[in-house]
Each structure stands twice: as structure tokens, then as C-alpha cells.
Amino acid sequence: MTPKQEKFFQKLVSLQEELASQSIEYWEIYSHLGTWQFWTVAVLLIGPLILVYFKIDRKHIFQIGFFGFAVHILFAYVDAAGIRFGLWGYPYQLLPFIPSFSLDAAIIPVFIMLVYQWTLKHKKNYYLYAFLTALAFGFGFKPLLVAHGLFEKYKWVNYIYIFFIYIILFLMAYWLTRIFQWMQRRESKRKPGAAGE
């Protein structure tokens, strides 16, 4: 690194440290264990995880789990970018350094996992039910969070954009899962000695 680059980079690191410190201070004042919002966010994390534990199809657990993990990662990246660019925010958090943890780690992945599982079991069209789930989250769940002060949208963000984010990420997770399934099937069809060739 050049000295100029090093100085600039150190400034960014310092700003990140300051932001983390301010986030923790904000959490201690407004989003701590003594608030009803903290416990609401905790339920939004723990409730879906308990539900998926009892409802997930153990015969297809790796496929469904992979799909859910893909949803989780994709949403975590998009949420982090949205927060960083000031497009939306979560005024109440379970952890001050992971603002959207309950949504990204539990409620969104779990519900779309159960939808995915249901479409597999009943041979239904995933695209249709992903679309309906995105509608429910984009125009039902998100406005509910806004009404209770648990989600804030800024700048040009509206529920139509939020709906499109949901549907695009649901489709990306589905296609990613399909690609990995295709690679697995392809490998299992290879001859036993072909792997070392």
C-alpha cells in the first residue's frame, strides 16, 4: 500500500470502529433487553427456528437446508448493502452489530424453506408459490414491521422494490440449489474410476 492509500484505509477502519461503538451505544439506550421491541425481535428469531426444527422434512433436510442457507446468505448481503447505503434500517436489534439478524437468519429463510418443502412434497410450481410468498412479505409483513417501528425505509425504497428484492432472491436461491443438485447428479452418474482421470 502507498502511504496515501494506507492513510485512507486507516480512516475507513476508524470510521467503522466509531460506527460500531455508536451502534452499541444506541442499542444500550433504545434496543436493550428491557424493551418490548427487543423481545419481539427475539421471538422473530427463535419462533421460526423452533418451527423449522419440528416441520422440516428429514428425508430432504440437506436439500431444504441448503436452499434455506442460500436464502439466508443472499438476504444478509442485500440487507447489509441496503443498510450501508442508507436505503433502510432496523431501529431495534437483537445484536447491535447485526441489525437484521432475526429476519435474515430465521423468519425469511424458514418460511420460504417451508414453502419450498411444500412445493417439493406436493409437486407444485415453486415459482408461483415463491411469487405469493414474496407478495406476502413485501406487501404484508414489511408494512407490519414499519407500522410497529421495527423497519424504516428511506430514499426511493417502497414496497414494490421490496417485493422485487424478495422475489429475485427467492429465485436466485432456488436456481443455486438446482445448480448444486445438477452437479451432484452429474457426479453420481460418473463411473467409479472416472473421478481420478
Nearest to 44 by CA among 162, 150, 152: 150
DSSP 195: G
Nearest to 134 by CA among 171, 179, 103: 171
26, with CB counted inside 10 A (0-12, 13-18, 19+), is: middle
Query: What integer pLDDT is reported at residue 196 of this predicted model?
Result: 46
- d(Cα 120, Cα 97) in Å, to the nearest integer? 36
* Structural domain boundaries in the chain: 1-30, 33-196
Q: Give 102-156 as a DSSP string.
A: HIIIIIHHHHHHHHHHHHHHTT--HHHHHHHHHHHIIIIIHHHHHHTTS-EE-TT
Query: What integer pLDDT is reported at residue 191 of this predicted model?
Result: 62
Note the Cα 74 to chain centre separation in Å: 6
Query: What integer pLDDT is reported at residue 162 of this predicted model?
Result: 96
Q: pTM for the complete prediction?
A: 0.87
Q: What is the dihedral of CA 36, 43, 158, 109, to 10 degrees?
A: 170
Q: For each of the chain's 197 residues, which pLDDT tens digit applies?
A: 899 999 999 999 999 999 999 999 999 999 889 999 999 999 999 999 999 999 999 999 999 999 999 999 999 999 989 999 999 999 998 888 777 777 777 899 999 999 999 999 999 999 999 999 999 999 999 999 999 999 999 999 999 999 999 999 999 999 999 999 999 888 888 766 554 44
Query: What integer pLDDT is reported at residue 94 of this predicted model?
Result: 87
Residues 6 or more apart in contact with residue 49 via CB below 8 angstroms: 106, 110
Query: What integer pLDDT is reported at residue 192 of this predicted model?
Result: 62
DSSP 3-state of 192:
coil
Q: What is the dihedral of CA 22, 27, 28, 34, to 10 degrees?
A: 170
